[in-house]
Amino acid sequence: METELSRIGISLPKNLLDRFDEIITARGYSSRSEGIRDAIRNYITYYRWMSDVKGERQGVITMIYDHDQRGLLPTLTDIQHEFRETIQATLHSHVTHNRCLEVVLVHGDGTELKALAERLMSQKGVESVKLTTIPIDE
Ligand code: NI
């Protein structure tokens, strides 16, 4: 149950706002505020869902990033080496001249998988990271 409205001011890169506006227009939202409320609800749901990832899991991390972002490539490599026990394989696709799609096959404890996804997500130049997992039942 949501309560009274609070007003906030946020600063966004113009191209991010333009892309957001295109989506809310295409989806027929009545206002930008309604689109932002929905986006925040989805963000909260995603994190709740992520926090249920426990125990031994097999999963996939799908990541999109800008390889022109200064320092990003060596950082991503360092993180992947740090999590070498968790990562089984990586598939890379060069989507455009600067955008890359990477699919990382992961196996291990849910908390490790989440830690890896969150580390990747927090890097500047990483556009999106999605973790999908299934539990391993013997
Ligand atoms: Ni690439």
Map residue 135 onto helix, strand or coil.
strand
- Ligand 1 center–CA 10 separation, angstroms: 31
Calculate mean pLDDT across residues 1-20. 89
pLDDT value, residue 138? 63
- Average pLDDT, rounded, for the chain: 92
- Ligand 1 center–CA 69 separation, angstroms: 12
Calculate mean pLDDT across residues 52-58. 86
Calculate mean pLDDT across residues 1-29. 90
* pTM to 2 decimal places: 0.71
- Ligand 1 center–CA 74 separation, angstroms: 13
pLDDT tens-digit profile of 61-79?
A: 999 999 999 999 999 999 9
- Ligand 1 center–CA 80 separation, angstroms: 16
Q: What is the DSSP string of 48-110?
A: HHHHT--SEEEEEEEEEEETTSTTHHHHHHHHHHHTTTTEEEEEEEE-SSSEEEEEEEEEEEH
CATH class of the domain comprising 55-135: alpha beta
- Ligand 1 center–CA 94 separation, angstroms: 4
pLDDT value, residue 136? 84
Does residue 1 have a pLDDT over 70?
no
pLDDT value, residue 33? 92
pLDDT value, residue 49? 75
- Ligand 1 center–CA 27 separation, angstroms: 30
- Ligand 1 center–CA 68 separation, angstroms: 10
pLDDT tens-digit profile of 77-118?
A: 999 999 999 999 999 999 999 999 999 999 999 999 999 999
Please tell me the distance from the alpha carbon of residue 129 to that of residue 98, in angstroms, as a whole number: 17
Find the Cα–Cα–Cα–Cα dihedral 9, 13, 18, 21, rounded to 10°.
-30
